[in-house]
Chains A and B, each alone.
Chain A
Amino acid sequence: MSTAAPPQKAPPPRERSGGRLSDGAFALLLTAPGLALFAAIIFYPLLSALFTGFFRQDLRLPGREFVGLDNFTHWLDGDFLAILEQTLIFTVGATLVPFVIGFALALALNTGLKGSGFLRGLFLFPWVIPGVVVSFLWMWIFNANYGVLNGVLMEAGIIDESVAWLGRPGTAMLAVIVTKAWASFPWMMVMLLAGLQTVPKELHEAASMDGAGSVRRFFAVTWPQVRGVASIVLLLEFIWNFQHFDTIYVLTGGGPAGTTETFATAVYQTAFKGFDIGRATALGGLWMLLLLLLVAVYLRITERKGDA
């Protein structure tokens, strides 16, 4: 922009509010309310909590005592790996199961069945019942002694005597995953259906004409189109499940014998049932550390792919 550019000489008068700011400053200004909120209600509580991990502190009593890494070693020598494993099993299970269900349903509804709009609405039901109620409902269904699941299975002759779904190590985790899957498949279905509806019909027809079977058509036409939605849905659900609390807490409380304990329930129970804030936050700290590692690895991978 040299002196010889009369038409652009003066900045347009309307550009008042942001006119003085550079793009970068403007961008920062936009993030300011968000950052302020973040700092106040997420980062500060988080840092403060993490700091507590180095102290022996009782929720009930004032004062605390610096204990260095004691709280951390308590977990590392103890249940850390078990909890990590269980958290991962739950997270992966409770992400994939509803995804598969939701995707199958979305594909089915996308074929233009009669009343699919109504069905779609109906299937939202599990998603909008308050989460704790979902947990109680399934607790009631899974109940070993008067639950409807055992009743049905027994009447069908599949089992001879009541199964303590929530009371056995293997089935308890399964039950928790099924419950969570029930509550989350609806939204995944809606999203995936939305993704599917953007796939042009002609593509399908054309591929079909081309002699592609339905499986091949799925991978050649459908999947590439919904991959974006699918990955978002999976990522979000994974993130949510990673810190999910209600379902496990209500259904099993982390039991039996700690086999469904995840980070979220362990932190809560240690802090609020055991009053041991030091240890609870130390576990939270380890969890955060792990998370940072994951994010760092993720950044490494995506950074390599470009895009600053």
Chain B
Amino acid sequence: MTTSGISRRGALRMLGIGALGAAGAGVLGACAPSGAGSPSNGGDPKSKNFDFTSWSLNEEAAKPSIEKIIAAWEKAQKSTIRAVSYPYNEYLSQLTLKLGGGETTGAVHLDIAWLAAMAQMGRLADLGPVAGKGGYTDVALKSGTYDGTQYGLPWNTGSIGVIANAHLLEKAGIQKHPTTVEEFEAALRELKGLGGGVVPYAAATKVAQLKDIFPWMQTFGCKLLDGGKVTIGDDASVDAVTWYKKLHDDKLIAADVDRFDARALFGQGKAAFYDDAIIGKGVTSAQSKDKTLADAMQPMERPVLKAGDTPQALLWGGVIAIVKGKGQDAATEFALHTTTDRATTSEYFAARALPPSTTAGLAAPEVAKDTFTTEWTRKITRTATGSPFWQFAQNAQIEEAVAKQVQAVLVGKSKPKDAMKQAGEEAAALIKR
């Protein structure tokens, strides 16, 4: 087997050039703004059949009740809905890729925190004309708005707040919910005194959920964003993180906790407080051996810095947005029906404890008689606000940048002041991009 021949060398070179050429052409092709001006993802807007994309469509807990809604619609309208889903943690990135690639059409379930990022892609339909028909609450309607346009029909509107375990508080001799940060910290120390591995406050300490610290920053007086300027890094934010670090070092909060862990701890009766959305009650009590836990769970106003301040809470919920193009009209009708039909929302509430977004839905006896929900609405959702960063497409990055800095403080890699200064700078840079 000998080597020979210029021809071979030449051939190889040709091959290389060919490959490069092909690649180059492809690169140039990729350069062209793919579908820059295309307003829709194609297809017939009048089609009766459409896609419905939701992360809940695969999850065991949520799947049956949503499938029921879909089946009912398919039967009534004699149409087919193609169910699409991605794992929750990958949902936003997958949806982004697929919406951009023209793959996603129809109705799309979105967390309200993601709405801006999706809306900016310019492929979501303006639902303003439809939304008026829904009888949604103001707060709910607002959660589906980005830049003055109604992009989402609110499905569930709630908030993320603090849940307390009445049993544990009682055991530690705490008579009433602490209302100020000072009282809160004192209560945590009492609870720590109970021993037995109690984590008084199962606050988020993993990056994935460290955005839970934003309401605390706000509690300490940091506005996060003031007239377009990021204020993370100001004294209030440093105070908040210093306080968080103190709780961490004194083991009043635990390391490596995300929402799942918090629920598990709370479910074991090992945590007296934790942050969760309103749905948390059902999830947490379901995985607890203690069947009395559900009754001991109480929504609590987030403690404030000084008496009289407004308690901070983060708005939380889901909306259904519609992609322009194939099946747009039918999908819109479906979204409207799903989010506003009283029987549907009541049944969905019964199955998943997610509060409806319409005034009528909230007033329905099935919902109104649930004291946890009404109390939650009164104590937490009432003062809840969206994160000022949601309006930016880079929201997820901003949250992560800040979370990473907070985590650096918690693990002792950085000082609160430096970390918050850097977090603020990173957030500002991200907004500018």
Verify if A255 is at the interface (C-beta below 8 Å from B).
yes
Closest to B118 in A: A60
B 394-423 binary contact with A (CB < 8 Å = 1; else 0): 101100100010011011011000000000
Docked CA distance A275–B100 (Å): 12
Q: Shortest distance in angstroms between A39's beta carbon and chain B's nearest beta carbon?
A: 4
Knowing A22-B5, A60-B117, A62-B34 are in contact, say whether A145-B413 is a contact too (CB < 8 A).
Answer: no
Chain B residues whose C-beta falls within 8 Å of the C-beta of A61 in the assembled complex: 100, 120-121
Closest to A64 in B: B31
CB atoms of B255 and A168 under 8 A apart: yes
A 154-173 binary contact with B (CB < 8 Å = 1; else 0): 00000001101111110000
Docked CA distance A253–B12 (Å): 43
Verify if A298 is at the interface (C-beta below 8 Å from B).
no
Which listed residue, A39, A145, A164, A256, touches B207 by the CB 8 Å rule?
A256
Verify if B23 is at the interface (C-beta below 8 Å from A).
yes
Among A22, A25, A60: residue with most chain B CB under 10 A = A60
Q: Shortest distance in angstroms between B207's beta carbon and chain A's nearest beta carbon?
A: 5
Knowing A22-B4, A44-B26, A273-B396 are in contact, say whether A167-B120 is a contact too (CB < 8 A).
Answer: no
State which residues 160-191 of A face B: CB under 8 Å: 161-162, 164-169
Knowing A43-B19, A44-B22, A63-B33 are in contact, say whether A145-B96 is a contact too (CB < 8 A).
Answer: no
Which listed residue, A22, A167, A253, touches B411 by the CB 8 Å rule?
A167
Verify if A195 is at the interface (C-beta below 8 Å from B).
no
Verify if B30 is at the interface (C-beta below 8 Å from A).
yes
Chain B residues whose C-beta falls within 8 Å of the C-beta of A162 in the assembled complex: 197, 254
Chain A residues whose C-beta falls within 8 Å of the C-beta of B261 in the assembled complex: 143-146
Interface footprint category on A:
35 or more
Verify if B58 is at the interface (C-beta below 8 Å from A).
no
Verify if A274 is at the interface (C-beta below 8 Å from B).
yes
Docked CA distance A165–B257 (Å): 11
Verify if A77 is at the interface (C-beta below 8 Å from B).
no
Chain A residues whose C-beta falls within 8 Å of the C-beta of B374 in the assembled complex: none
State which residues 90-146 of B face A: CB under 8 Å: 90, 92-93, 96-97, 99-100, 117, 120-121
Knowing A24-B8, A256-B407, A257-B408 are in contact, say whether A144-B207 is a contact too (CB < 8 A).
Answer: no
Docked CA distance A304–B52 (Å): 61
Chain A residues whose C-beta falls within 8 Å of the C-beta of B35 in the assembled complex: 62
Q: Shortest distance in angstroms between A136's beta carbon and chain B's nearest beta carbon?
A: 12
User: Chain A at the B interface: mostly helix, strand, loop or mixed?
Assistant: loop
Which listed residue, A63, A167, A276, touches B206 by the CB 8 Å rule?
A167
CB atoms of B30 and A48 under 8 A apart: yes
Knowing A162-B197, A275-B96 are in contact, say whether A258-B404 is a contact too (CB < 8 A).
Answer: yes
Knowing A169-B413, A274-B394 are in contact, say whether A145-B199 is a contact too (CB < 8 A).
Answer: yes
Docked CA distance A253–B92 (Å): 16
Verify if A125 is at the interface (C-beta below 8 Å from B).
no
State which residues 2-51 of B face A: CB under 8 Å: 2-5, 7-8, 11-12, 15, 19-20, 22-24, 26-27, 30-31, 33-36
Q: Shortest distance in angstroms between B76's beta carbon and chain A's nearest beta carbon?
A: 35
CB atoms of A59 and B257 under 8 A apart: no
Which listed residue, B8, B19, B97, B264, touches A146 by the CB 8 Å rule?
B264
CB within 8 Å: A-B pair count = 146
CB atoms of A24 and B4 under 8 A apart: yes
Verify if B307 is at the interface (C-beta below 8 Å from A).
no
Docked CA distance A161–B198 (Å): 11
Among A56, A161, A167, A258: residue with most chain B CB under 10 A = A167
Closest to B393 in A: A60
Q: Shortest distance in angstroms between A6's beta carbon and chain B's nearest beta carbon?
A: 25
Q: Shortest distance in angstroms between A138's beta carbon and chain B's nearest beta carbon?
A: 14
Which listed residue, A24, A48, A59, A167, touches B205 by the CB 8 Å rule?
A167
Interface footprint category on B:
35 or more
Chain B residues whose C-beta falls within 8 Å of the C-beta of A257 in the assembled complex: 404, 407-408, 411, 413-414
Closest to A167 in B: B256
Verify if B208 is at the interface (C-beta below 8 Å from A).
yes
Chain B residues whose C-beta falls within 8 Å of the C-beta of A152 in the assembled complex: none
Closest to B398 in A: A274
Chain A residues whose C-beta falls within 8 Å of the C-beta of B12 in the assembled complex: 28
Chain A residues whose C-beta falls within 8 Å of the C-beta of B24 in the assembled complex: 47
State which residues 22-42 of A face B: CB under 8 Å: 22-25, 28, 35, 39
Chain B residues whose C-beta falls within 8 Å of the C-beta of A143 in the assembled complex: 256, 261
Docked CA distance A110–B261 (Å): 44
Docked CA distance A154–B36 (Å): 59
Verify if B330 is at the interface (C-beta below 8 Å from A).
no
CB atoms of A22 and B255 under 8 A apart: no
Verify if A58 is at the interface (C-beta below 8 Å from B).
yes
Verify if B179 is at the interface (C-beta below 8 Å from A).
no
Verify if A272 is at the interface (C-beta below 8 Å from B).
yes
Verify if B265 is at the interface (C-beta below 8 Å from A).
yes
State which residues 63-122 of A face B: CB under 8 Å: 63-64
Docked CA distance A105–B208 (Å): 38
B 174-213 binary contact with A (CB < 8 Å = 1; else 0): 0000000000000000000000010100000111100000
Among A25, A272, A274: residue with most chain B CB under 10 A = A274
Verify if B268 is at the interface (C-beta below 8 Å from A).
yes
Verify if A51 is at the interface (C-beta below 8 Å from B).
yes
CB atoms of B23 and A43 under 8 A apart: yes
Closest to B406 in A: A257
Knowing A60-B121, A255-B207, A258-B404 are in contact, say whether A166-B100 is a contact too (CB < 8 A).
Answer: no
Docked CA distance A240–B19 (Å): 26
Knowing A24-B4, A256-B207, A257-B404 are in contact, say whether A145-B265 is a contact too (CB < 8 A).
Answer: yes
Chain A residues whose C-beta falls within 8 Å of the C-beta of B4 in the assembled complex: 22-24
Chain A residues whose C-beta falls within 8 Å of the C-beta of B256 in the assembled complex: 143-145, 164-168, 256
CB atoms of B8 and A274 under 8 A apart: no
Chain A residues whose C-beta falls within 8 Å of the C-beta of B8 in the assembled complex: 22, 24-25, 28
Among B20, B117, B197, B411: residue with most chain A CB under 10 A = B411
Q: Sample 29 A-B pairs with CB under 8 A, ordered by A number.
A: A22-B7, A23-B2, A24-B4, A24-B5, A28-B12, A43-B23, A48-B27, A59-B96, A59-B97, A59-B100, A60-B96, A62-B34, A62-B36, A143-B261, A144-B257, A145-B256, A145-B265, A146-B264, A167-B205, A168-B411, A169-B413, A255-B206, A255-B407, A256-B207, A257-B411, A272-B93, A274-B396, A275-B393, A275-B394
Q: Which residues of B approach A to under 8 Å, CB–CB?
A: 1-5, 7-8, 11-12, 15, 19-20, 22-24, 26-27, 30-31, 33-36, 90, 92-93, 96-97, 99-100, 117, 120-121, 197, 199, 205-208, 251, 254-257, 261, 264-265, 268, 270, 393-394, 396-397, 400, 404, 407-408, 410-411, 413-414, 433
The 7 residue pairs across chains A and B that have the minimum distance between CB atoms: A167-B256, A164-B256, A164-B255, A272-B93, A24-B8, A144-B256, A62-B36
